[in-house]
């Protein structure tokens, strides 16, 4: 997802987050999911991994 946000929207979503849902086909039951986010302005990278139940 590539976003072009105004400074006002950027500050809002930085504080509240951006809702996003996607369906990704898999061949076996997933055990973990990992999300990686890259912020272009600062070059920051963040990641989170969680177990799927």
- Give me the pLDDT at residue 8, please: 93
Rounded CA-CA distance 27/49 in Å is 20
Write b or e for each residue in 1-35: b if 16 or more Cβ atoms lie within 10 A of its Cβ, otherwise e.
Answer: eeeeeeeeeeeeeeeeeeeeeeeeeeeeeeeeeee
Mapped onto helix, strand or coil, the DSSP state of residue 38 is: strand
Per domain, the residue ranges of the chain are 29-53
Is this prediction's pTM over 0.95? Answer: no
- Give me the pLDDT at residue 21, please: 87
pLDDT digits (tens, 9 = 90+) for 1-53: 778 889 999 899 889 988 888 898 989 988 999 999 888 889 999 999 999 98
- Give me the pLDDT at residue 46, please: 95
Rounded to the nearest angstrom, the gap between the alpha carbon of residue 44 and the centroid of all alpha carbons in its chain is: 13
- Give me the pLDDT at residue 24, please: 86
The two three-digit tokens of residue 38, written as one number: 């890259």
């Amino acid at each position: 997802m590539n976003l072009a946000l105004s400074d006002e929207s950027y500050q809002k979503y930085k504080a509240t987050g951006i809702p996003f849902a996607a369906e990704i086909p898999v061949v076996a039951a997933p055990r973990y999911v990992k999300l990686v986010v890259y912020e272009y302005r600062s070059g920051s990278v963040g990641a989170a991994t969680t177990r799927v139940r």
